Amino acid sequence: MLVSRALRSLLCVLGCAWLHTGAASRLKSPALPIQSEREPLPSKGLSGCSFGGRFYSLEDTWHPDLGEPFGVMHCVQCHCEPQKNRRGKVFGKVNCKNIKQDCPDPDCDEPILLPGHCCKTCPKDDNDKKQTVSVLDAFEYFHEKSKEKEDDLHKSYNDRSYLSSEDMGPGESRTDFVTVLTGMTDSWLPSSGGVARARFSLTRTSLAFSITYQRMSRPGKIVFLDSDGNTAFEYRVPKGQSDMICGVWKNLAKPLMRQLQSEQMRIRMTTLTNRREEVEGKIIKHRALFAETFSSTLTSKEENSGMGGIAMLTLSDTENNLHFILILQGLIKHKDKEPVLVPIRVHLVYRQHILREILANITSHDPDFAEVLTDLNSRELFWLSRGQLEIAVATEGQDPRQISGFITGRKSCDTIQSVMSSGDALTPGKTGGVGSAIFNLHDNGTLDYQVQVAGLTSDMVGLTIELKPKRRNKRSVLYDLMPEYNKATGRAVGSWSRLEARHIHMLLQNELFINVATAHSQDGELRGQIKALLYSGLEAPRHELPTPLAGHFVSPLVRTGASGHAWVSVDKNCHLHYEIVVAGLSKTDDLTVNAHLQGLAEIGEIDDTSTAHKQLLTGFYGSQAQGVLKDISHELLQHLDQGTAFIQVSTKLNPRGEIRGWVHVPNNCKLGTNGDVEEAEFDDFFVTDPEELKKDPHMCFFENQHHAHGSRWTPNYDTCFSCSCQKRTVICDPVICPTLTCSQTIQPEDKCCPICDERKESKDMKALERVEENPEGCYFEGDQKMHAPGTTWHPFVPPFGYIKCAVCTCKGSTGEVHCEKVTCPVLTCSHPVRRNPSDCCKECPEEDKTPVGLEHSDMMQADGPRHCKFGKNYYQNSDNWHPWVPLVGEMKCITCWCDHGVTKCQRKQCPMLTCSNITRREGSCCPECIEEDDLMIKSPDKRRTWRH
């Protein structure tokens, strides 16, 4: 496991040397140098601190999470301190300190150290402990990585460390907010009994929102108010029958974004019916949002009460404990300046029968409440999964007031979907097949599913929803979808009506998988994680099965581990809306794929002459790309209408397309449009506006022209070079011409390399004929040649030419081309050189025989057994050590080792414990069970809050 970015961030913040590890070997063009890059700041323009790939507001405090295997450093507390520069601009500075010395002295003889805590505490008896688990600690526990591993695949239910980091593009972060909206008593409109709940996700400069409402008509207008009460953004709600409102506020200005982050904005929702109603609430950040899987909107039975609230709930890790937090509004009326304690009762109800009761006091100025309902029995869990449990909150006294609501699975406008690829199978492969699925969860716990598969190597024998396996190749099947599979259509459509509460929880935490087993791959040929796709505001029809993208649909077929799917639609203005999701695209065996730019998404059509015309949509930096294409030709619109258009994703390894899918979008557009290409929502690649391009911090200025990051062009000074822009760095490579085998060649005026004097179509047809005539050989896309079984060659990859750092071999039995990186010899000189730009390995010049020190070794040349640098220390290949982390010291429970230049670390594996009373003794790596006789009773503090 590679050392995480967060550890490097912590080392840097504390004034220590950066932690350098040798990058994993990837095949690259020899003339493409490795460019050092800063860790992206996801919150550019905002006042705060960026730490470990996350953004923190000013005055925030947190325990640094160093990722697996280090976990959360509970004895280290970091603080985002506000600072001012010379111009008076406020910025954040991270300051971390060890808080262990501040721990209070426990007033018992044998204090214990609980898992996930820094300070020792006095033990409690079993019943008392269950009733008083700190909700804050429980949610922090979800952050902590699982320490008890059976092998490298075992993770706890709430551990999401195994999720792909490809989902977020460079410079992208996401912050979630929530609001409870109720009728305002100080409004000129009569107070409303309506209650709404709004959830927001801020990504870059776009704020997506999902709003549900009860006891009110469908709103017609939503207004965002700034700190002064002025309208910052207005959204007109489209007509519909659903109780869900979905929208996106795009291009937030930086001042408004700062107000949003500092919880200074409000949202107001108004109906446009004869009986006009209005509800309003404050937008707040909340730590519980990331773990919420169940929710409830609390309303009052009184007319025009102005009361309401929301409950955010989640199941605990492995026990049947239900954690919840209440955000209440209007339930408690207070006019006193000083806060007063108000007694409340919280009931868990089934059909008017009280199952659980909690008595507590809350303050009038902070009417939020958090608690845990422990040990839910099987009936309570069943009613929870069916949406039949109700949560009620009531005040006590002469004038009791009550609000209540049913608990259901969390609702949002996001789409639950999955892309299944052979690269993500339990035994990864390259088949060129694809699986695609979409899901819809109902309030009664029923899960509707639509699944499609294509390009399988043999008959499908299994289609299942599964857990992440605890042991390799030991699958845990939850539900069999195979009875609904139609072999003729390649689809399965049906409903899973017996979801348990735990299954709903895992589904909404992206912890379930869908697996496709075939006769040749009994454990699974395709596999995909089921996860939510953030609502984008585009008009792509996500309720319909998307277009599958696979190497199977490329001609000739591409054996790839990647796959994907795309939603495509054409609106009334003849603009094309697209959303593309891929899986397995940036695998390390795709050696020529750039570490950041993974590929290009294109749309095109096949006309009568079989010549492909393609138009760029966007570049892929993560697993998804979204946008609107306005500049569409009449021909392309016709092909979309006829179903003869395609979308494909091309990579440097497969420039003609690695995965492709046929698109059929009926439309009535008679003429093409003359718009511009709107920037992609998540993966903007080319900026067409020159003024906007100048503002891009990653653009390049070369030969008096601005070039977008990721773009490629031919320079004016020499047409036999190809240049690219990589984050303000221009890299120009000589075009290496392929060796021609034809008898006659010509030199086109606009080309750098000579070509054979033959028709390209004829050449392609002959190549394809050779594939059919000699199935034992291999056809390589780069040089468009057949290679005999067992032969080796340097691959030719346009526009770079021959890649001499790689050797490809034709496996005659399978017809697959296998390419490997050339291992360069270890050099002893201090300044090795490449004699030719196309050479793979460097050489020592005759005049330089000086031995090289570790600190001057060339990272570009590190192809033999390489050393590792960890902190300020160097380690030879195969060395192992215990890491030392600032403020913490030597971590003896973690062992690191040097593996050919890559530092890998692993925590000591601990046994699974079945006892309820667990402690971790000082100096011990693993938690232990403690005897009940040793427990001591101590009264706890029940009240906690999750609020920032």
CA angle 501–297–293, rounded 5-degree value = 30
- pLDDT band, residue 836 (cuts 50/70/90): low
**Mean per-residue pLDDT for 394-413?**
91
**Average pLDDT of the segment spanning 268-279:** 84
Distance between CA atoms of residues 642 and 656, nearest Å? 23
Q: What is the pLDDT of residue 86?
A: 74
Q: Is the pLDDT of residue 126 over 80?
A: no
The counts of H helices and E strands in the chain are 9, 63
Residue that wins the pLDDT comparison between 803 and 19 = 803
Task: Let me know: does 857 contact 867? Beta carbons within 8 Å.
Answer: yes
Task: Give the pLDDT confidence score for residue 30 in this predicted structure.
Answer: 35
| The residue to which tokens 């221009």 are assigned | 730
* In contact, 70 and 7? CB cutoff 8 Å: yes
Higher pLDDT, 357 or 769: 357
pLDDT band at 933 (very low <50, low <70, confident <90, very high): low
Q: In this predicted structure, what is the pLDDT of residue 601?
A: 76
Asked if residue 942 has pLDDT above 90, the reply is no
Task: Give the pLDDT mean for 464-482.
Answer: 87
What confidence category does residue 185 fall into, taking pLDDT thresholds of 50, 70 and 90? low
pLDDT, residue 921, reads: 75
Does position 56 have pLDDT exceeding 50, yes or no? yes
Which pLDDT band, with edges at 50, 70 and 90, does 799 fall under?
low
Alpha-helical runs (H) found in 194-352: 254-261
Mean pLDDT score across all residues of the chain: 76
And the tokens for 820?
């490997």
In percent, the amount of the chain with pLDDT more than 90 equals: 32
Burial class (CB in 10 A: 0-12, 13-18, 19+), 465: buried
Q: What is the pLDDT of residue 847?
A: 54
pLDDT classification of 46: cutoffs 50, 70, 90: low
Q: For position 484, what pLDDT does the model report?
A: 95
Cα gap 701→713, rounded to integer Å: 13
Radius of gyration of the chain (CA): 30
Secondary structure class of 438 (helix, strand, coil): strand
More confident position, 96 or 446:
446
